[in-house]
Structure 1
Amino acid sequence: MTSPSREQIRRWRGYLADERAEAAVYRDLATRRTGADREILLELAEAERRHEQHWLDLLGPEGDRPTRVGLRTRVLGLLARRFGSVFVLALLQRAEAGSPYEEDRDATSRMAADERIHEEVVRSLAMRGRARISGTFRAAVFGANDGLVSNLALVLGVGAAGAGNGLVLATGVAGLLAGALSMGAGEYVSVSSQRELLEASRPSPESGRALTRIDLDANEVALVFRARGMDEDEAAAQAALVLGERERERPTLPSLDVDVEAVGTPIGVAASSFGFFATGALVPIVPYLLGLSGGIAVAVACVLVGIALIGTGAVVGLLSGASMVKRAGRQLAIGFGAAAVTYALGLAFNAAGI
Structure 2
Amino acid sequence: MSPDTTEPNPPEPSKAQIRRWRQYLADERAEAAVYRDLAGRRAGEEKEILLGLAEAETRHERHWIDLLGDRVGKPRRGDAHTRFLGFLARRFGSVFVLALVQRAETRSPYDSEPDATPEMAADERIHVEVIRGLATHGRSRLSGSFRAAVFGANDGLVSNLSLILGVGASGVASNIILLTGVAGLLAGALSMGAGEYVSVRSQRELLEASTPDPEARHVLPDLNIDANELALLYRSRGMNPHEAEAQASAVLREGSSGQGAESPGRDEHEAVGTGFRAAISSFCFFAAGAVVPVLPYLFGLHALTAVFVAAALVGLTLLGTGAIVGLLSGGPPLQRGLRQLMIGYGAAAVTYLLGHLVGVGGA
| Range into which the TM-score falls when normalised by the shorter chain | over 0.9
**What residue number does 1:295 align with?**
304
Inter-CA distance 256–116: structure 2 relative to 1 (3 Å threshold): same
C-alpha displacement of 1:212: 2.2
Task: Kindly state the Cα deviation for residue 68 of structure 1 after the two structures are TM-superposed.
Answer: 2.4
Contact 1:90 1:318 in 2 (8 A): yes
Of 23, 40, 45, 1:36 maps to 45
Give the CA deviation at 1:189. 1.1
Q: Which residue of 1 aligns with 2:360?
A: 351
Q: Which moved more, 1:11-20 or 1:1-10?
A: 1-10
Q: Does residue 45 of the first structure (1) align with residue 72 of the second (2)?
A: no
- List per-residue Cα deviations over 1:89-111 (Å, max 9, x = no partner): 11111111110100010111100
Q: Matched residues in 2 for 1:234 and 1:251: separation?
A: 16
Alignment of 1:168-317 (within 5 A): 168-248=177-257, 253-255=261-263, 257=265, 259-317=268-326
SS at match of 1:197: helix
Q: Report runs of 4+ in structure 1 exceeding 4 Å deviation.
A: none
Cα offset, 1:247, TM superposition: 3.0
| % identical equivalent positions | 63
Aligned partner of 1:157 among 161, 166, 175:
166
Asked if structure 2 preserves the Cα contact closer than 8 Å seen for 1:207 and 1:252, the reply is no
Q: Deviations over 1:255-285 (max 9, x none)?
A: 2645211111111111111111111111111
Residue 286 of structure 2 aligns to a residue in which SS?
Answer: helix
Shift of 1:309: 0.8
SS in 1 for 2:268: coil
Alignment of 1:118-129 (within 5 A): 118-129=127-138
Q: Which amino acid aligns with 1:246?
A: G
Aligned residues: 353
Paired position in structure 1 for 2:7: none
1:38 Cα deviation from its structure 2 partner: 0.6
SS of 1:163's partner is: coil
CA-based RMSD of the aligned residues comes to 1.4
Aligned counterpart in structure 1 of residue 110 of structure 2, from 92, 98, 101: 101
Distance in 2 separating the partners of 1:35 and 1:244? 34
Q: Is the 8 A contact 1:205 1:252 kept in 2?
A: no
The offset of 1:251, in angstroms, is: 5.8
* 8 Å CA contact retained: 1:201, 1:256: no
> Could you tell me how far apart the structure 2 residues matched to 1:176 and 1:189 are?
20
Alignment partner of 1:130 is 2:115: no
Mapped partners of 1:9, 1:130: distance in 2: 41
Contact 1:153 1:338 in 2 (8 A): yes
CA distance in 2, matches of 1:160, 1:103: 55
- TM-fit CA distance, 1:206: 3.9
User: What secondary structure sits across from 1:270 in the alignment?
Assistant: helix
Secondary structure at the residue paired with 1:284? coil
Per-residue CA distance 1:198-240 (angstroms, 9 max, x = gap): 1111112342222121111100111111112211111112212
| Separation (CA, whole Å) in 2 of partners of 1:237 and 1:147 | 54
- AA of the residue aligned to 2:111: E
Residue type at the aligned position of 2:262? P
2:122 to 110, 113, 118: 113
> What is aligned with 2:83?
74
After TM superposition, the structure 1 stretch with the greater mean CA deviation from structure 2, 3-12 or 118-127, is 3-12
Give the AA of the match of 2:87: L
Which deviates further from its counterpart, 2-11 or 143-152? 2-11
The 2-side partners of 1:6 and 1:252 are apart by 63
Corresponding letter in the other structure for 2:118? S
Q: Deviations over 1:47-81 (max 9, x none)?
A: 00111111112222332313122121111011111
Q: Displacement of 1:159 after TM fit?
A: 0.5
Match of 2:6 in 1: none
Superposition TM-score, scaled by structure 2 size: 0.94
2:320 paired with 1:337: no
- Where does residue 63 of structure 1 map in the other structure? 72
Structure 2 spans left out of the alignment, 5+ residues: 1-9
